[in-house]
Amino acid sequence: MEGIDHLADERNKAEFDVEDMKIVWAGSRHAFEVSDRIARLVASDPVFEKSNRARLNRKELFKSTLRKCAHAFKRIIELRLNEEEAGRLRHFIDQPAYVDLHWGMFVPAIKGQGTEEQQKKWLSLANKMQIIGCYAQTELGHGSNVQGLETTATFDPKTDEFVIHTPTQTASKWWPGGLGKVSTHAVVYARLITNGKDYGIHGFIVQLRSLEDHSPLPNITVGDIGTKMGNGAYNSMDNGFLMFDHVRIPRDQMLMRLSKVTREGKYVPSDVPKQLVYGTMVYVRQAIVADASIALSRAVCIATRYSAVRRQFGAHNGGIETQVIDYKTQQNRLFPLLASAYAFRFVGEWLKWLYTDVTERLAASDFATLPEAHACTAGLKSLTTTATADAIEECRKLCGGHGYLWCSGLPELFAVYVPACTYEGDNVVLQLQVARFLMKTVAQLGSGKVPVGTTAYMGRAAHLLQCRSGVQKAEDWLNPDVVLEAFEARALRMAVTCAKNLSKFENQEQGFQELLADLVEAAIAHCQLIVVSKFIAKLEQDIGGKGVKKQLNNLCYIYALYLLHKHLGDFLSTNCITPKQASLANDQLRSLYTQVRPNAVALVDAFNYTDHYLNSVLGRYDGNVYPKLFEEALKDPLNDSVVPDGYQEYLRPVLKQQLRTARL
């Protein structure tokens, strides 16, 4: 069985060049070559072994994480890896760790909010990891409502210091990754108070632990918040709590790029526009969307390969049973998730471009497109992370009972991924931000102000409010203009309906609260339109490789028509399409599933994931599932002995009816 490719027949069916599709998925040949080389480097290093994570207790898991991080840093230095390669190395190690927050939040916060002088001082230490930092914003009592944070930073002009204090239990910092056991420093967000006036939330660099023996500094209480969901999973991360008891820091440890406090205690906003913080926000959220496509593609890769290996029912006269992937019910659940992985990949690519565009505009003090960019990235973060978390769980169910085993890779992937629905903005709260922006845009339609970016379609409101779909046969649903118009009309009509309903309320804010559920639905419709439009835009590019564009075309329309089917009530209730046209869309969807079927395994091979990275017996490249399931089972500590511990004390007395019972 070893060395045999049990999925070879599936791979031979492919109607496109998998190697070319790998380049499209990676974004460029350079990106593919870097990822491929680093993934194999990690997979071949025994220190990065991870198949035993579920069997480690919390302390062992955390220590193994520290070891992997130290070894990774050593390899980065030894191999002289550049920033891109080092980032890929940390990614493929695939174990949540303090370095994620150090490089992903602490360093960008100083770059974005620190003065040149502050950056020079702190980044030189952080880049060499002579200090390790985290991002201490969320508190026990406040997460999404950042303006409600309670930690205070009160300026003392006598000593030229800020006094950082936790006034209540709910003001305790709670959740920051890397805080619990590792970070020596944190960017702490607190209410700046000077001369008795509260100036709102600002960032401060605070040392938490000694650089000699790592013990917490005086008047600082810090620790880990405890075990989280799942085996292994996010428990490798030391999410922490933190309390300050009048801790003093020098005035120059306030991040002062956007505002500062003088020696005399005067609060002075700087000339640097406050909108610069949007740049960091767009960057972080585009990274989260990119991560969504990766997590979703991993789950889909496992479910697709296993669906091709697994056979059930359908045998006639002693013949072989039917592959599960050949059942239309399986395709109807699986292929839209495969299409979603590609859709999220391409909208993530577009968001990288948007970040560059926003950065250039900020440098030129052009803030015109910022509100739209902010709303767009908030909405896409929410849409993609919610869909991905749901899809990972659906992939687990698509793998039947075996999907529930830790070694399937899916339970841990779900437990690791699902916090993305909450961090960097609760997903419902984010969609409400999008909804507020849409309501403003609709309100301005008659004023002559032209909607920009992803809301540009609203500028054609007169047409979109009265148009009817011209679909007459199933193939018409493969016309990009037809699909886009249906999604644009749905999004606009839902937004306009919300705006009309809002106008019936004397108190707009009260109206907003009453209509929250409808507003979220309108925001989702807008965000789904963005994803569909960016997938279609991707297909308008020059994409080489035998059969590659045809497969992407099929996936694009599977994604769009699946959404149309899933949200059919929206399309029908807004009169964008007729029931007959909806039925034709379903006919076309079934036809597309048939076209994707012979290419399904090759389409997930294009993700180019090593078996080490997938960490799934069900998703193995060679499809050799059943012998490997037994191997994994026999590694479990319960199988160290044939007779279980506790047999003599607890099991034998039950079997032999020798339980000693008390006489009452």
| Helix-then-strand count for the chain, H and E | 24, 11
Backbone angles phi and psi of 323, in degrees to 5: -65, 135
Number of Cβ within a 10 Å radius of residue 447: 7
For residues 263 and 281, the answer to whether their CB atoms sit within 8 Å is: no
For residues 206 and 247, the answer to whether their CB atoms sit within 8 Å is: yes
For residue 178, give Cα distances in angstroms to 91, 99, 135, 422, 475.
17, 8, 9, 18, 53
Which residue in 139, 394, 424, 485 is the catalytic one?
424
Backbone angles phi and psi of 405, in degrees to 5: -70, 140
Contacts of 72 (CB under 8 A, 6+ apart): 89, 90, 93, 99
Rounded distance, CA 566 to CA 281, Å?
Answer: 31
Residue 424 is a catalytic residue: yes
Q: What's the chain's length in residues?
A: 664
SS3 of 225, please? Answer: coil
Rounded distance, CA 597 to CA 147, Å?
Answer: 50
Rounded distance, CA 406 to CA 307, Å?
Answer: 18
Q: Is 177 annotated as a binding residue?
A: yes
For residues 238 and 224, the answer to whether their CB atoms sit within 8 Å is: yes
Rounded distance, CA 281 to CA 293, Å?
Answer: 19
Query: CA torsion 435→439→442→448, rounded to 10°?
Result: -120
Q: Is 425 annotated as a binding residue?
A: no
What residue numbers does the annotated binding site cover?
138, 177
Q: Annotated active-site positions, please?
A: 424
